[in-house]
Amino acid sequence: MRIRNYITAIMLLAATQTAHADVSFSMQAEAEAQNTPQGWKAVELPQGLPAFTAANTFDITDFGAATTAADNTAAIQAALDAAHQAGGGMVIVPTGEWLFGRITIGSRTVLHLCAGATLKLLAYADQPDHTTKTPYITDKKGATDIVIEGESAETSVIEGQGGPWWDAVEAKESGLQRGSIIRLYQGERHLFRHFRLQNAPGTNLTLGQSGKGAHNTVHDVHIYAPASTVADPSHNTDGIPIWTQYCNIYNCLIDTGDDNVVTDSNAQYIHVWNCQFKAGHGASLGSYTVDMHHIIYEDLSFDGTDCGFRLKSNTDRSGDVHDIIFRDCTMHNVATPIQITAWYDKVPDSPAAAAASPESVKSTTPHYHDILIQNVTVSGYDTKNSNDKNYNGIMIYGRPESYVHDVTFDNVQIAHRNGVRLFFCKDIKFINGCTFTKTRTSQSVSTTDADLSSVMENSYEASYSWNGSTSGIATAIVAPQPTADRYYNLQGHTYNKMARSKGIYIHNGKKVIMK
């Protein structure tokens, strides 16, 4: 059971009023909505913010910003610097459209976008440097306790003018680098709420770096960019990438061109709930998965995303990945609902070919285990693709030297054009009434069936149990044409004629029983 954690110390900051007539500030709602999973430390909200008065509330127009200006960067930065020099304060962005470039925020500062305010990045042609990855909105070195907020996701907007940047990606512009619109690197306790990010040049709202920048709360933020599958796509416009610990993300709508939310290396104790994902690559983990654990995605709805739950990495960027939960979610028209792969961007020709050349286990070898997928319903995807094997209701693809293991599907109901593929995995459990329908062939398995064989597209060295009734070894073999001296057991291991013991083997495409 999840528990709701109330932080009384944070509530002392509630209902602080600013001197700006139209702006009030409170963090009481955040304190009440913590929703901390049992056994986890609560995410810390910003602390030490001053009482906001006329002395520490700064309107950017008082520093020379104007809707008619070609570039308001200096004026906005001057207002932020004034708040920093005051020991903290609020910077007001009034109604109107304000062009800007890169700005930095100091500790105990609130950047507030009024209703009807749009912060608009300078156009691609007006930015002299296309080769730096510095974020557009970031923190001063060591800054903590920062709030970036609007008045609603419909009326307070940060516009990225990303189109020409995406064109430059397609044109393979030399040295091109695209910074996040927002990324706070080092300090802790940051809050993002009630605004919209749209048309980012690259990623949108990135949390932390290399484990720093912990304790983030994001809610009621909407993110938009064209899907990666449309005629004029965005590129790598991840919604919320996470590279740190202790983050709450809730009540967000993300419709973009890459991962909707993605946890990467050093992501730990991440809780994402009550969000809508439309175009995008789903609720993702990786591809960088070093030291990543205790992540919960729940109460999410997916509509037309490329993927649903997707864990992806490879042997140059992974490690021990565990205690992952994906539950209470619905998916409609999702191309790849459940994908767990240790072969990101480097899929072998066949699992048998991979088995013939296992790598040595090292610290960055993917080791995926203790994953729960619970109370998930999938329907509506029936699109024929040129390569259907890449679009499956369930795909688990471990490695011969490091099996995916201890994955539990609990009350998961999937209807999908294509079936199930299981490679190099063990102790995969389907419990509490799981069902699967392969709509391409109108084949189904239910709680009364013995196994997944009727919906299995392919499997190799994979063991699973189906609704507690059976436990079996998947035996389908995808391998090069066997030679006269090559024998395979039912787990796909290769033997020569002299090395065989008693058992059942496949030889020259036929079953052979050795007594």
pLDDT tens-digit map of 107-157: 999 999 999 999 999 999 999 899 999 999 999 999 999 999 999 999 999
Judge whether residue 479 has pLDDT over 50. no
The pLDDT-based confidence of 510 (bands split at 50, 70, 90) is low
- Token reading at 163: 């189109």
Residue predicted with more confidence, 6 or 487: 487
With b for 16 or more beta-carbon neighbours within 10 A and e for fewer, the 420-433 pattern comes to bbbbbbbebbbbee
Both tokens of 397, joined, read 């693809």
Q: What is the mean pLDDT of residues 339-355?
A: 94
Model confidence at 384: pLDDT above 60: yes
Model confidence at 488: pLDDT above 70: no
pTM of the model: 0.88
297 pLDDT higher than 80: yes
User: By mean pLDDT, which of 61-70, 119-128, 222-231, 467-476 is the weakest?
Assistant: 467-476
What is the secondary structure of 320-370 as a DSSP string? EEEEEEEEEEEEES-SEEEEEES-TT---S-HHHHHHSPPPP-TTS-EEEE
Percent of the chain with pLDDT over 70: 87
Name residues whose C-beta falls within 8 Å of residue 316's C-beta, 6 or more positions apart in sequence: 364
pLDDT at 5 over 70: no
Alpha helices in 357-471 (DSSP H): none
Tell me how far apart the 2 most distant CA atoms of the chain are, in Å: 91
What pLDDT is stored for residue 128 in this prediction? 86
Q: Are 258 and 282 in contact (CB under 8 A)?
A: no
| Backbone region of residue 436 per phi and psi (left: phi > 0; alpha: psi in -120 to 50; beta: other values) | beta
pLDDT tens for each residue of 27-62: 999 999 999 999 999 999 999 999 999 999 999 999
Q: What is the pLDDT of residues 439-448, one digit of tens each?
A: 999 999 999 9
Mean pLDDT of 275-294: 98
For residue 217, pLDDT over 70 is answered with yes
Residue 496 pLDDT level (bands cut at 50, 70, 90): very low
**17 has a pLDDT exceeding 90:** no
Query: Does the structure show a pLDDT above 90 at 175?
Result: yes
Least confident of 9-18, 174-183, 224-233: 9-18
DSSP character at residue 389: G
Count each helix (H run) and each strand (E run) in the chain, helices first: 5, 35
Distance, CA of 482 to CA of 130 (rounded, Å): 53
Tally the residues of the chain.
515
How far CA 1 is from CA of 4, 36, 38, 208, 268, in Å, comes to 10, 10, 7, 29, 19
Q: How far apart are CA 209 and CA 401, in angstroms?
A: 30
CA-to-CA distance for 154 and 417, rounded, in angstroms? 36
